[in-house]
Structure 1
Amino acid sequence: MTRGRPANTGPARVLVVGDVHGEFELLAGWSAAVRESLGPLDAILAVGDVEPNRDETDAAGVHGPAKYRRVGDFPLLVEGLLDLGAPLHFIGGNHEPWPALDAAGPGRWSEGVHFLGRAGVTEVAGLRVAFLSGIHSPRITDVPRARRDTARERTYYTAEEVHQVSRAARRAGAVDVLLTHDWPAGLTGPRRNGPVGRAELRTLCERLRPRWHFCGHMHDRHRGAIGPTEIVCLGHIRSGPQAFAVIEREPDGRLVLVEDVTGSARNPIRATSE
């Protein structure tokens, strides 16, 4: 497996987005603004709660209130009426069409859109990306060989999947980016009547030691660090710049965060907080 692209093609540039929740028109608009400001993108990474519902059947499989079971803008992307400007690679969160995703498995979800899968390591635009879909649940994550039969249970990751990421990383080598939906523990104080983040995700980050760890789920932007790893928690796409980050592979191999690019880019769509 190679690290990075040939030198004559320039550095990799990847847009990372927080919770999309079916708002693909907003994603297309912000991607266009970033490309206008920085230049072409090689890929877009999404940290879950993407809701890429192709039709009503997909939407019906999303766990949660009715607002999470709408089709959303994804059919416009499928029909070629929206342009994201780069291939989208996504993990799953707790609001996804999990019956359809599990049936399809990792790989092409539609033209230019790829589901990374439940857990593992892959390469995107020359970056080695480790990933874990879903969120924690004591009744699934903490129970050996737990079954995920219901729509709700499908939203949770298992302990075996956490171990699967570690094993895949040992085989693949150094990880550039870790994607999870949940936050790792220890980044901030109590919130919403309880602690924020998961201990097993902090341990995973400590073992993999990626350059960057991106997550979503809480709809808040937050920066932190775990050892040598920079953590960036991303907001809801309706929060505009708070939902985005851009990373680039420099010619010397360093993977850097492009600061405030979406804040200074022209906002093509008026985004309001949820």
Structure 2
Amino acid sequence: MIDPRPIAVFGDWHGNLGWALTAIGSAAREGAHTAIHVGDFGFDWPGRKRGRFEAKLNKYLVDLGLTLVVSGGNHDNWDTLANLAVDIDGLAAVRSNIRILPRGGRTMLEGLAVGGLGGAFSVDYKQRTEGKDWWRNEEPTQEEATALVAGGPLDILITHDAPAGVPLKGDFHLSEALAKDAERTRTLIREVVDSTSVPHLLCGHWHQRRTYELNHPNGTITRVDVLNKENSRHGNGVLVWPSLSPLRIDPLEISGTKRQ
């Protein structure tokens, strides 16, 4: 049996245009027509170059015939993301080839039911400026999680943070209060995972590549793939092949001449 075309899934890019273009080119080289970004994309970042990242990336996506679906992270503009009109397919259009997967929403991609619960807590929010590089509504809500679960089974869940129970070590030494705040989103995501028994979850946020399995009382397993950030040639992206259950997930080597 010949596999259908893969879906490329990417970790954090933080608005790095050269890396984003190289990553998208690598996905197209492997036959992908659809890509997913798990957040900290750098969406609608305020400043004098606002919109340049999306415009240049969209032009390349059009050239390649590839559509990118973005689920927001904590370093994306939630003032904009939270107010987008959602189309009948469950996605919001921000460019011709860049779509947004809303928090608590779902869509069908290459025959797979894909849900989104993006966002996370910024542990350094006190060093940031609201509306410039930090947004108060950066975390997913219980209402969004409830809506996602109510929609029924999923093949893939896209989040920015990792669910509670996945062992990860971050770069920050947090106070007890900050650690508790940071755990809030992870706990909410784990509640969704346990309620849906979703077989696959892909996320970023932790700037490292990690695979871990969460076991459920009903005997099912959720495979969690934590993706690394930009400039990780073998850790920032994967290819998901839709024809198998469980899905086949292969590394995506990101290589080629950087474009601007």
> What is the 5 A alignment of 1:220-239?
220-227=208-215, 228-239=221-232
Measure the CA separation in 1 of the matches of 2:10 and 2:112. Answer: 16
Residue 208 of structure 1 deviates from its aligned partner by 1.4
Q: Which residue of 2 aligns with 1:163?
A: 146
User: Do 1:206 and 1:226's aligned partners in 2 also have CA atoms closer than 8 Å?
Assistant: no
* 1:112 equivalent among 81, 97, 117: 97
Question: CA shift at 1:165, angstroms?
Answer: 1.2
CA displacement at 1:26 relative to structure 2? 1.8
1:88 aligns with 2:68: yes
State whether residues 23 and 72 of structure 1, in contact with CA within 8 Å, keep that contact through their aligned partners in structure 2: no
TM-score by length of 2: 0.77
- 3-state SS in 2 of match to 1:240: coil
Cα distance change, pair 239–189 in 1 and its aligned pair in 2 (3 A): closer
Distance change >3 Å, CA 221–CA 46, structure 1 → 2? same
Shift of 1:29: 1.5
Residue aligning to 1:204: 192
Question: What letter matches 2:85 in structure 1?
Answer: G
Distance change in 2, residues 1:100/1:15 (3 Å): same
Distance of aligned partners of 1:28 and 1:190 in 2 relative to their CA distance in 1, 3 Å threshold = closer
Change (3 A) 1:205 1:10: same
Is the CA contact 2:7–2:241 (under 8 Å) kept in the aligned structure 1?
Answer: yes
Q: For 1:93 and 1:81, how far apart are their aligned partners in 2?
A: 21
**Residues 74, 121 of structure 2: 8 Å contact kept:** no
2:37–2:68: 8 Å Cα contact kept in structure 1?
A: yes
Q: Does 1:59 align with 2:51?
A: no
The structure 1 residue matched to 2:247, chosen from 255, 258, 262, is 255
Distance 1:188 1:231 in 2: 11
Residue 19 of structure 1: how far off its partner (Å): 0.7
Task: State the alpha-carbon separation in 1 of the partners of residues 57 and 246 from structure 2.
Answer: 33
Deviation at 1:268, TM superposition (A): 0.9
Shift of 1:42: 2.9
Q: Distance in 2 between matches of 1:81 and 1:202?
A: 33
Instruction: Quickly say closer, same or farther: Cα 1:216–1:105, change in 2 above 3 A.
Output: farther
Deviation at 1:114, TM superposition (A): 0.3
TM-score (norm 1): 0.73
Structure 1 SS opposite 2:154: coil
Structure 1 CA distance for aligned equivalents of residues 6 and 85 of structure 2? 27
Residue 153 of structure 1 deviates from its aligned partner by: 1.1
**In structure 2, what is the Cα distance between the partners aligned to 1:234 and 1:119?**
21
Pairing 1:188–2:167 present: yes
Kindly provide the amino acid, as one letter, of the partner of residue 255 in structure 1. Answer: L
* Matched pairs, number: 232
1:76 lines up with 2:56 in the alignment: yes
Give 1:21's aligned amino acid.
Answer: H
Q: Which residue of 2 aligns with 1:14?
A: 7
Q: Give 1:189 deviation, angstroms.
A: 5.2
Answer yes or no: is the 8 Å Cα contact 2:12–2:229 preserved in 1: yes
Q: 1:188 to 1:110 in 2, by over 3 A?
A: same
Structure 1: tracts of 5 or more residues without a match: 1-6, 61-65, 138-148
Q: Which residue of structure 2 aligns with residue 146 of structure 1?
A: none
Write the distance in 1 (CA, Å) between the matches of 2:36 and 2:159. Answer: 11
Residue deviations 1:116-173, cap 9 Å, x none? 1121222112110011121148xxxxxxxxxxx97621212212111121112x2xxx
Q: Percent identity?
A: 23
Partner of 2:32: 41
Q: 1:158 to 1:15 in 2, by over 3 A?
A: same
Q: Which runs of 5+ in 2 are unaligned?
A: 87-91, 123-129, 216-220
Q: After superposition, what is the alpha-carbon deviation per residue over 1:46-91, rounded to whole angstroms, capped at 9, x for unaligned?
A: 10111233xxxx525xxxxx9xx96563221345587465210111
